[in-house]
Structure 1
Amino acid sequence: MNARWYIVLWWFLLAGTLPGATMHGPDKEATARAVFDRLVDAWGESSRPAPYFTLTAARRSGARVEGNLIVLEEAAYDLCMSFGAEADYALATVLAHELIHYYAGHARGGSGIGLLADPGPDDREAEADYRGGFLAYLAGYPTSNVMPRVLEGLYNAYGLPDTLTDYPTLNERKALADRTYRELQELIEVFEMAVALTALDRYGEAAPYYDHLLQSFPSREIYNNAGVVYARAALPLFQPTTLRYVYPIELDLRTRLDGQTRSLTTDRATREAYLHTARRYFERARLLDPAYAPAVLNLGSTHALLAASLLESDPDSLQRELAADRQLEATLRAREAARMGNPTTADHARVLLGILAAERRDSLAAEALLAGENPLAVENRTVLRTGHVPPRTAARQAERFIIPETVGGQGLADMRLAPEIEGSARRIENGSYPLRLVRRQPPAETVSVLHHSAADGEEELLLAWVQPGYVGTTALEIGCGQPRSRVIEEYGSPGYSIATAGGEVLVYTDHQLAFCLRNGAVASWFLYAER
């Protein structure tokens, strides 16, 4: 597939700064507060005000929730900082644990909940470990099974016996944390596969993964990504000539120019059903956080696509009036997203405004709005001027010569033969068409190897995702931290691109390779094999 497409897709690796970026300077409170703020931002729900944060020298419970205050004790901070490469994640896990207690309302009614003193019931502690671990992951911290060691270290630092009256023993709490971590890893694997399927345009298979995620973690990001899946599903159901421009939620023109054979009536009914489903998901994400710019922009693009659907085939006066209402709503949402301060999403919001101007034949306004070097603006500016997207940039290497990609010394063929990890298989319900996800033995500790398949064996995806901390490079020596320009220099233009809420994903179909970029630099990448 030689197409580039753009969606505002929230990607966990791109949610914050690159791993390991937290500084452990002399100001402990500033360091801890930076982690706390990053977690609150990743949670994103504004239906309840964010709690306050303080660091204290008092020694009582390690960390706790008191009303609308999260308290971290200096002894717990010092312990987390002693974990070396895992220090950031240890601190994030402790704070995220308390944040879940707060947002889930576990400490309401005047009673506090502490990590050591006054812990909640086992089910609430498990929920705080599980959802807190996923929150830390969404905030961009590499995961590890650190909570059992944190608990043991705190018991030692506070001089507590392994058994406390009316509390679970230390070993019981460590076992609970260990079991919860294994469940967390399963949730993360579902999320990774959902994102990869979305990135590879396999939205029919991605949808049940997001439905599964929403049962455990109904966040703005998951609702947004689920909406993207349904909006994307609607695009092939338009007539080839309807959508001239590259919306901030769609495939490039060169994919849509293939002939369409389905009934126009069926296409319209189905695509509008998909778009309305997408709209509801984006509105739900926006309800959780009115300031979440990606959902606002995606909502605007969805209204613009609904307008295009109404205008596609000889519309009557009522359809034209309804389409005008949709276009106005799209304009309002794009303007709102442009004011929200997220630079990438603001750029894409201006692109949507440029497309709307072009569709009403205001070429001067469209030119002004599509100015700049943002890749999506360049694409649409070229369409505005020539009717065609710009040609792909060739790679430095001869196109006929592709060096096989490996991770940890193994290629995808090797990883396909790797044994399944015992107990990792799980079933993702999809009505009468269930999906199966298993984890295979990875070639390195910082690599996830996931194998997705349909029950009938017809659909399959093998994924090798390089995690933060991987020190190797791709076949053309691209590693974490390399700039986008270097990727283009070595690999050429991608088969297609995905604009995310925090950066960009470049997908190279010939190489079966995708780069995840943040602030113009590579944050991670994954290899894939499809069937």
Structure 2
Amino acid sequence: KHQWRSGFAKAYQELEIGRTLQGMVDHDKINNETQADYLGGFLAYSAGYPVFDNRAALLDKIYKTYPFPEVDTTGAYPSLNDRKALAQKSEEKLKDLVLVFEVGNLLAAIGQYDDARVFFKHILIDYQGREIYNNLGVITVLEALEYFPESERKYRLPLELDMTFGAGSKDGFGDKEERRAKLLREAISYFNNAISMDPDYAPAYLNKACAYYMLEDNDRAAFYAGVEAKRNPGQFPKTKTDAQVLMAMLTARGGDLEAAIQQLEQLETPSAVALYNLNQMKQTPIPAGRKPDGPDAYDIDSVKPYDLTNFDRQYRRERKEIELFEALDFRIWTPEQVDGLSASTVYMVKSPNNPSLYLQLTDAGHPGELYDGFKAGTPRSELTDLYGEPKTSIELPTGEIMVYKEVLLLLGQKGQLSRWANYRFK
């Protein structure tokens, strides 16, 4: 789009507006080059190139090899020093986007769909990645599920949020059936965007199949789950398993419950959603666990859960803020900013539509323990034996988020605890 002004000025040079724009073309060059440096970095990153790693050294090599003057006397290009500074700023912005992405996923798990949608749309300003569109679609399907009666939500859908970094508004019109159908069609458009960026991105095919399942378009659901979601099993082995779960759900919907049960029982590595749905099909009661109320929120890095809501007042000067759409206030406290934190980060999301959310998330490899002695590496079976099956569980291509009251448990590929979080509303 950088050529629009010069092209328009040339085509309409006989008009006063054309001559005026022609006089501004030279000033566009520095703007265009700066924008190319900034957005080009994010586009390269989304394509899989680690351009933010030591980008300043890369610029030095480019200027030396071609060679370019370090300062352009025509004023059409940024100086080398400015480009290095811009590269550093871009790297800092990327780190901010990673934080926004991570919290957006946790907001989705908690059920704060409106706020999560804002987080992902904020990222899309600079970074158009497949996982962003995929997760926007998942959020939209989850929101649509709220408009289905409990009788139609017997099974858990194997929807997969992508936690690796790499929806439409409620218009108030129509009944529940119309609104949920609209949301599901919108979700499919997000999954299509993710697929267009990477045709081998299996989670988007699976999630698209889930949306068609909810629309009762069984043929399309079977095609995307039974064929397309099996792409790239080396990178997405769990997605292939979760796709088989949806195929079993389709079999059950078709009236052959015994065959559906057999499909789930024959899975080599059944996921949590597979076991949950198997219990539902067999009408087997799900064990409540020895602590039916779930895990207690416990200190992380010596921060007591009830002190989380005072964090903003206590560490007002240490916080970092990221401006988001729709008057959403996002604040962050990291170990680099707060002496009391060693291996966790505290977040606050203040929304005009929802109560303020405070969340403390451990880093990977956090050395501490949960209240009951569990720590990183604890298998899921031990967690559910004590706490029971969570009311809400979100699948990931590499694990799961188990949602309990005021506690989130994040599991890795082997179904073992990897990270956890306390969260509270104020």
Structure 2 length normalisation: TM-score? 0.73
Picking from 349, 361, 382, the partner of 2:243 is 349
Picking from 247, 254, 260, the partner of 1:366 is 260
Partner of 1:464: 360
Q: How does 1:54-65 map to 2 (within 5 A)?
A: none
Q: Deviations over 1:320-345 (max 9, x none)?
A: xxxxxx11111111101453213211
Partner of 2:113: 203
Q: Deviations over 1:58-94 (max 9, x none)?
A: xxxxxxxxxxxxxxxxxxxxxxxxxxxxxxxxxxxxx
Picking from 384, 389, 406, the partner of 2:281 is 384
Structure 1 404/334 Cα, relative in aligned 2: closer, same or farther at 3 Å? closer
- 1:444 & 1:134 partners in 2: Cα distance? 31
Partner of 1:413: 306
Q: Which moved more, 1:123-132 or 1:233-242?
A: 123-132
- 1:424 & 1:502 partners in 2: Cα distance? 30
Q: Does 1:217 align with 2:113?
A: no
Partner of 2:152: 242
Structure 1 168/486 Cα, relative in aligned 2: closer, same or farther at 3 Å? farther
Deviation at 1:178, TM superposition (A): 3.4
Picking from 98, 101, 111, the partner of 1:188 is 98
Picking from 277, 289, 295, the partner of 2:198 is 289
Partner of 1:226: 136
Picking from 385, 409, 412, the partner of 1:514 is 409
Q: Deviations over 1:446-501 (max 9, x none)?
A: 42211101136x42211112223543333334333443344445544334322111
Structure 1 424/502 Cα, relative in aligned 2: closer, same or farther at 3 Å? same
1:420–1:439 Cα contact (<8 Å) kept? no
Structure 1 191/454 Cα, relative in aligned 2: closer, same or farther at 3 Å? same
- 2:120 & 2:380 partners in 1: Cα distance? 29
- 2:42 & 2:135 partners in 1: Cα distance? 21
Partner of 2:12: none
- Quote the sequence identity (%): 26
Partner of 1:315: none
Partner of 1:316: none
Deviation at 1:401, TM superposition (A): 10
Structure 1 410/171 Cα, relative in aligned 2: closer, same or farther at 3 Å? farther
Picking from 169, 180, 184, the partner of 1:275 is 184
2:42–2:126 Cα contact (<8 Å) kept? no
- 1:122 & 1:146 partners in 2: Cα distance? 19
- 2:80 & 2:318 partners in 1: Cα distance? 27
Q: Deviations over 1:103-142 (max 9, x none)?
A: xxxxxxxxxxxxxxxxx95544444555667888xx9x9x
Structure 1 492/423 Cα, relative in aligned 2: closer, same or farther at 3 Å? closer
- 2:186 & 2:197 partners in 1: Cα distance? 17
2:225–2:244 Cα contact (<8 Å) kept? yes
Structure 1 245/224 Cα, relative in aligned 2: closer, same or farther at 3 Å? same
Partner of 2:22: none
Partner of 1:330: 221
- 1:500 & 1:336 partners in 2: Cα distance? 20
- 2:294 & 2:140 partners in 1: Cα distance? 37
Q: How does 1:6-85 map to 2 (within 5 A)?
A: none
* Counterpart residue type for residue 212 of structure 2: H
Q: Deviations over 1:275-324 (max 9, x none)?
A: 111111112212222221111111111111111xxxxxxxxxxxxxxxxx
Structure 1 463/470 Cα, relative in aligned 2: closer, same or farther at 3 Å? same
Partner of 2:165: none
* Counterpart residue type for residue 391 of structure 1: P
Structure 1 512/134 Cα, relative in aligned 2: closer, same or farther at 3 Å? farther
Structure 1 130/219 Cα, relative in aligned 2: closer, same or farther at 3 Å? closer
Q: Does 1:501 align with 2:394?
A: no
1:506–1:515 Cα contact (<8 Å) kept? yes
**Structure 2: gaps (5+ residues):** 1-31, 161-171
- 1:463 & 1:126 partners in 2: Cα distance? 31
Structure 1 246/400 Cα, relative in aligned 2: closer, same or farther at 3 Å? closer
Partner of 1:530: 425
Deviation at 1:513, TM superposition (A): 3.2
Partner of 1:23: none
- 1:270 & 1:495 partners in 2: Cα distance? 24
1:514–1:527 Cα contact (<8 Å) kept? no
- 2:397 & 2:44 partners in 1: Cα distance? 22
1:130–1:183 Cα contact (<8 Å) kept? no
- 1:128 & 1:471 partners in 2: Cα distance? 38
* Counterpart residue type for residue 245 of structure 2: V
Picking from 200, 205, 214, the partner of 1:305 is 214
Deviation at 1:505, TM superposition (A): 1.6
Deviation at 1:526, TM superposition (A): 2.2
The DSSP-based 3-state class of the residue aligned with 1:494 is coil
1:337–1:349 Cα contact (<8 Å) kept? no
2:390–2:404 Cα contact (<8 Å) kept? yes
- 2:258 & 2:84 partners in 1: Cα distance? 64
Deviation at 1:435, TM superposition (A): 1.6
The DSSP-based 3-state class of the residue aligned with 2:215 is helix
The DSSP-based 3-state class of the residue aligned with 1:249 is coil
- 1:367 & 1:529 partners in 2: Cα distance? 39
Indicate the RMSD between aligned Cα atoms, in angstroms.
Answer: 3.7
Partner of 1:117: none
2:293–2:387 Cα contact (<8 Å) kept? no
Deviation at 1:212, TM superposition (A): 1.6
The DSSP-based 3-state class of the residue aligned with 2:146 is helix
Partner of 1:453: 350
**Structure 1: gaps (5+ residues):** 1-119, 251-262, 308-325
Structure 1 length normalisation: TM-score? 0.60
Structure number with greater CO (CA < 8 Å, separation at least 6) is 1
The DSSP-based 3-state class of the residue aligned with 1:425 is strand
Residue-pair matches, total: 363
